[in-house]
């Protein structure tokens, strides 16, 4: 009897595995059973595996939820509850443990500050609203990235490389973080010496990356066309430079210059790649030459923000790829981090209003701001030293007379920024735009947010290029 049950279980497992492989291979192709125009998968294989697991659990609960063809457009309260539960479970398994362990790791930090950091990170409204309101699984890829940062913090370079490979194989937007990971690890190898330990470490990291990718892509490696189809789904160049009102430079400039009409699509792609590369080049070079964990975390912010502002086909939700690294340094620069995280959530306002999340946006934003003000006293942390700008201010001494009053200027700018965001939020939610300008409010949100992000990009680059230099000089002395 036991043997019969074992054989039956084994047969069921084989059938499930076969069906799973069939699902993975067909999910990126347009067929009569898989209409890509209806709900096509445009994420890497790890997302497909996650979807398959969720679908298998859903089938055990109610097969109607995932019935082929007939489940299209299916809606019910139990089904919605199940879907939202899957997001919460993903948070519990991947993102939340990574955040808590990262905050526990923070060195030279009191227990109270560690708890405050974890609370503020987990209360960040942008990720909550997009994943649990708009309904997505950004916390999985971002969680794997945080795991990568955590492992690198312990000098577990191979585990850190593997964790980031999982992040990249879950969502291709993790390319925003790829250069800081690459440059930091390459810088460590150079520092150890490429004729000794550095070369061995480089070979181990390369092997870990190759094996991680091979395992993730294994079901697709039987045919080149299958791999190419997945890549075409991951990088849909035909969609153009941008779609909706996103808070990046190209969308903002299109108000004055219709870039899509004036510049050829291929030229748009080349232009965006060139500008993106040039904007992040100083940070990456600095990280290779002077690899440090602190510089690495700031580089994650700077490089991701460069991608968001200048790269090709950016979505509003991509700002989360900048926001989570900012969360990781909220204990170091609480004022600027809080300000950025407020703006990043505000930049997604048109999408949040479209999803009917105005009340949730207001509540989560106020809760987050209250937690930051209470935990870090952010309005008192505006000195040059608190903003990590002391070395920069010293280099400007004698050239810029107003830098002494910089903390007051920054505080006033913050209050003005919050006021403008509040007015625009209320106006977008309660007022009808003029008939001649139907996109007035979304455009205003994107342009104002873009100006903020340009300011933050300059700020983070200054911190990296000046502050890390002063710290290394202190260590040498």
- Determine the pLDDT at residue 3: 40
177 or 110: which carries more pLDDT confidence? 177
- Determine the pLDDT at residue 407: 78
Give yes or no for residue 24 having a pLDDT over 90.
no
Q: Which of 134-143, 329-338, 461-470 bottoms out in mean pLDDT, i.e. has the lowest?
A: 461-470
- Determine the pLDDT at residue 475: 42
What would the 3-class secondary structure string for the chain be?
Answer: CHHHHHHHHHHHHHHHHHHHHHHHHHCCCCCCCCCHHHHCCCCCHHHHHHHHHHHHHHHHHCHHHHCCCCCCCCCCHHHHHHHHHHHHHHHHHHHHHHHHHHHHHCCCCCHHHHHHHHHHHHCCHHHHHHHHHHHCCHHHHHHHHHHHHHHHHCCCHHHHHHHHHHHHCCCHHHHHHHHHHHHHHHHHHHHHCCCCHHHHHHHHHHHHHHHHHHHHHHHHCCCHHHHHHHHHHHCCHHHCCECCCCCCHHHHHCCCCCHHHHCCHHHHHHHHHHHHHHHHHHHHHHHHHCCCHHHHHHHHHHHHHHHHHHCCCECHHHHHHHHHHHHHCCCCCHHHHHHHHHHHHHCCHHHHHHCCCHHHHHHHHHHHHHHHHHHHCHHHCCCCCCCCCHHHHHHCCCCCHHHHHHHHHHHHHHHHHHHHHHHHHHHHHHCCCCCCCCCHHHHHHHHHHHHHHHHHHHHHHHHHHHHHHHHHHHHHC
Give yes or no for residue 25 having a pLDDT over 60.
no
Give yes or no for residue 149 having a pLDDT over 60.
yes
Tell me the mean pLDDT in the region 362-369: 96
- Determine the pLDDT at residue 381: 82
The pLDDT-based confidence of 64 (bands split at 50, 70, 90) is confident
Domain boundaries, the chain: 16-105+137-235, 239-469
- Determine the pLDDT at residue 400: 63
Tens-place pLDDT, residues 390-448: 787 777 765 666 666 777 888 999 999 999 999 999 999 999 988 888 889 999 999 99
The pLDDT-based confidence of 120 (bands split at 50, 70, 90) is very high
- Determine the pLDDT at residue 4: 41
The pLDDT-based confidence of 298 (bands split at 50, 70, 90) is very high
pTM over 0.85: yes
Average pLDDT over all residues of the chain: 86
């Amino acid at each position: 009897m036991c043997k019969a049950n074992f054989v039956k279980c084994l047969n069921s497992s084989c059938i499930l595995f076969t069906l799973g492989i069939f699902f993975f291979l067909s999910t990126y192709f347009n067929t009569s059973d898989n209409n890509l125009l209806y709900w096509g998968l445009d994420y890497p294989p790890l997302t497909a595996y996650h979807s398959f697991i969720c679908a298998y659990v859903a089938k055990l609960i109610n097969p109607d939820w995932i019935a082929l063809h007939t489940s299209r457009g299916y809606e019910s309260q139990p089904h919605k509850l199940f879907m939202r539960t899957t997001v919460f479970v993903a948070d519990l398994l991947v993102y939340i443990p990574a955040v808590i362990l990262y905050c526990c790791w923070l060195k030279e930090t009191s227990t109270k500050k560690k708890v405050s950091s974890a609370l503020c990170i987990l209360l960040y409204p942008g990720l909550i609203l997009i994943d649990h309101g708009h309904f997505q699984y950004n916390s999985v890829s971002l969680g794997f990235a945080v795991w990568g940062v955590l492992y690198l913090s312990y000098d577990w370079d191979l585990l850190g490389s593997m964790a980031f490979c999982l992040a990249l194989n879950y969502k291709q937007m993790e390319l925003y973080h790829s250069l800081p990971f690459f440059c930091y690890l390459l810088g460590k190898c150079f520092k150890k010496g490429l004729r000794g330990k550095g070369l061995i470490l480089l070979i181990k990291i390369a092997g870990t990356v190759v094996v991680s990718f091979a395992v993730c892509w294994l079901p697709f490696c039987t045919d080149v066309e299958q791999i190419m189809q997945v890549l075409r789904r991951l990088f849909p160049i035909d969609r153009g430079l941008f779609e909706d009102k996103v808070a990046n430079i190209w969308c903002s400039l299109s108000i004055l210059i219709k870039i899509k009409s004036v510049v050829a699509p291929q030229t748009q792609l080349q232009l965006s790649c060139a500008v993106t590369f040039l904007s992040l080049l100083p940070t990456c070079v600095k990280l290779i030459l002077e690899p440090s964990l602190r510089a690495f975390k700031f580089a994650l912010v700077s490089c991701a923000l460069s991608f968001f502002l200048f790269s090709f086909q950016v979505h509003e939700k991509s700002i989360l790829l900048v926001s989570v690294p900012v969360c990781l340094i909220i204990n170091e620069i609480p004022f600027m981090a809080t300000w950025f995280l407020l703006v990043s959530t505000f930049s997604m306002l048109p999408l949040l209003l479209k999803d009917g999340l105005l009340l949730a946006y207001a509540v989560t934003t106020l809760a987050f701001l209250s937690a930051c003000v209470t935990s870090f006293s952010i309005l008192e942390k505006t000195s040059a030293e608190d903003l990590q700008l002391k070395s920069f201010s010293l280099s400007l001494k004698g050239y810029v007379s107003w830098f002494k009053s910089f903390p007051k200027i920054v505080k006033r700018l913050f209050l003005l920024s919050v006021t403008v965001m509040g007015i625009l939020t209320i106006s977008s939610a309660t007022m009808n735009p003029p008939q001649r300008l139907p996109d007035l409010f979304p455009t205003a949100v994107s342009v104002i947010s873009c100006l903020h992000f340009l300011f933050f990009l300059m700020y983070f680059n200054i911190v990296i290029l000046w502050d890390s230099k002063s710290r290394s000089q202190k260590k040498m002395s």
